């Protein structure tokens, strides 16, 4: 059976600025990764030259057909590999997702000041191992190490030439896409090795898992990067990649592509609470086109210790440790422990990119900025007061209509949706559409 190398992490596999004020809103909905097809997730824990990468895959199909090939900048020992918990990544996704929040207008007849809210391990069989190594040597490929970690059989490969490595992978049932030689050769010239993993079906059956768990690798390198080029070779259209970077210094950004903040703190019409997924996809697509499809978008940047408003609770110290946040519980010096570990030593950055080979010809290169300014993709519903009036509220209704018209215009600008269709979904205050939202007067004379 031929193994189709699949896009596991969108890595290298084959097959407006907010301020620090409290928002104090009520969370309504979030835009998590489920809104996008073929959405891959990678968690990067980075401190100095130490990195822990967790790769969640979106593989669909028979597990025996799954495999992944990942360029890595250094030799990987068995103890540097782990199989993680998918639920922790799902929690991180929920915590950092762009969110819809709501506020409610107060009774316009009440006399009070209204404040504006900001806006298990085993060895390979000996005979198979000997044959595999002999075959590799004949192709100029060295199997530097091999492990079984959880449900994955893992090889660490080096090679002298890209064509020999590709032929060996093909000979061993890793189906490599056309055009891989040039990309593989560029990694070999950087003295990178290749982390190769496929599912050990027998071990998976013993463990009882019905899905593929995330693979984790810890290593040291001065390269802070995410290789994505191989993943574009056999991709069907654009791919969605989410990168969650955990540091103790501050926000992470790309250095070879623009890192752009998505529009945030924008008021949208009330009906968006039932169409938030459609809104977010349309808004993200338009912003991507606006940046010539070559930008990486910032969706969240915040201290892990708190959030406002929260789309999910912050991750616990135990969950962060599972992701590889190795400095929790220490004072920065190995071997010395703090009496009370503080989760706020972790700053999380969420980046989202829709990419293909044409617009992203290079791997993603990152840097830690040290900027700890809080930011979240945040979209606001301001609900009009709907109680019985004990006073004349005509001025209030007029102001609400003006606000609703602004929201319609903003939504059209963000998404490209037709503004008249948007207006048709808005129950304008007092049942009167504002003049600015109606056709010019001359169009109403005979129609």
pLDDT value at position 163? 86
Angle between helices 394-415 and 276-290 (to 10 degrees): 50
pLDDT value at position 177? 75
Q: Which one, of 323, 324, 328, 331, lies nearest residue 341 by Cα?
A: 328
Which residue has 């990764």 as its token pair? 33
> What mean pLDDT is reported for the chain?
82
pLDDT value at position 339? 39
132 within some domain: no
Tokens of 167: 């032929």
Q: Which one, of 294, 293, 288, 292, lies nearest residue 263 by Cα?
A: 288
Band (pLDDT 50/70/90 cuts) for residue 125 is low
Q: Is the model's pLDDT at 24 over the cut of 50? A: no
DSSP string, 109-168: TS-SPPPPP----BPPPHHHHHHHHHHHHHTTEEEEEEEEETTEEEEEEEES-HHHHHHH
The total number of structural domains that make up the chain: 1
- Cα(93)–Cα(246) distance, rounded to whole angstroms? 13
2 within some domain: no
Lowest mean pLDDT among 124-138, 141-155, 319-333: 124-138
- Cα(113)–Cα(103) distance, rounded to whole angstroms? 16
Residue 214, number of CB atoms within 10 A of its CB: 23
191 within some domain: no
pLDDT value at position 217? 93
205 within some domain: no
pLDDT value at position 445? 61
284 within some domain: yes
21 within some domain: yes
170 within some domain: no
113 within some domain: yes
- Cα(99)–Cα(74) distance, rounded to whole angstroms? 38
Range of the domain at 283: 16-64+73-119+216-391
Q: Which one, of 243, 304, 219, 302, lies nearest residue 47 by Cα?
A: 219
Q: Tens digits of per-residue pLDDT, 234-244?
A: 667 888 999 99
């Amino acid at each position: 059976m031929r193994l189709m190398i699949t896009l596991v992490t969108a890595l290298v596999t084959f097959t407006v600025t907010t301020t620090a004020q409290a928002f104090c809103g009520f969370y309504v909905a979030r835009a998590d990764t489920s809104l996008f097809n073929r959405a891959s997730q990678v968690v990067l824990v980075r401190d100095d030259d130490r990195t822990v990468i967790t790769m969640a895959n979106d593989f669909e199909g028979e597990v025996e057909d799954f495999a992944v090939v990942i360029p890595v900048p250094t030799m990987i020992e068995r103890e540097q590999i782990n199989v993680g918990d998918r639920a922790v990544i799902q929690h991180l996704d929920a915590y950092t997702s762009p969110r819809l929040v709501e506020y409610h207008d107060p009774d316009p007849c009440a006399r009070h000041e209204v404040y504006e809210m900001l806006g298990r391990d085993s060895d390979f069989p000996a005979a198979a191992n000997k044959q595999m190594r002999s075959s590799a040597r004949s192709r100029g490929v060295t199997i530097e190490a091999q492990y079984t970690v959880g449900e994955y059989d893992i090889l660490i490969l080096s090679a002298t030439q890209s064509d020999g490595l590709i032929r060996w992978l093909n000979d061993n049932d890793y189906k490599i896409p056309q055009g891989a030689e040039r990309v593989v050769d560029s990694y070999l010239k950087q003295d990178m090795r290749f982390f190769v993993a496929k599912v050990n079906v027998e071990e998976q059956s013993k463990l009882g898992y019905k899905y593929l768990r995330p693979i984790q690798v810890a290593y040291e390198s001065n390269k802070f990067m995410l290789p994505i080029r191989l993943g574009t070779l056999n991709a069907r259209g654009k791919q969605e990649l989410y990168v969650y970077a955990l540091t103790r210094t501050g926000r992470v950004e790309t250095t070879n592509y623009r890192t752009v903040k998505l529009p945030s703190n924008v008021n949208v019409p009330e009906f968006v609470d039932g169409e938030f997924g459609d809104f977010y996809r349309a808004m993200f697509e338009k912003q991507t086109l606006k940046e010539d499809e070559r930008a990486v978008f910032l969706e969240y940047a915040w201290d892990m210790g708190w959030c406002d408003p929260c789309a999910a609770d912050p991750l616990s110290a135990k969950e962060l440790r599972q992701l590889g946040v190795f400095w929790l519980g220490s004072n920065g010096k190995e071997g010395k422990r703090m009496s009370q570990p503080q989760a706020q030593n972790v700053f999380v950055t969420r980046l989202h990119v829709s990419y293909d080979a044409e617009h992203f010809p290079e791997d993603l290169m990152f840097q830690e900025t040290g900027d700890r300014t809080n930011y979240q993709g945040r979209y606001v519903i301001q609900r009009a007061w709907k109680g019985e009036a004990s006073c004349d509220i005509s001025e209030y209704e007029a102001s609400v209509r003006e606000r609703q018209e602004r929201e319609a215009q903003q939504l059209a600008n963000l998404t490209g949706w037709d503004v008249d269709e948007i207006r048709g979904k808005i129950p304008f205050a007092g049942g009167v559409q504002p003049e600015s939202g109606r056709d010019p007067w001359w169009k109403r004379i005979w129609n």
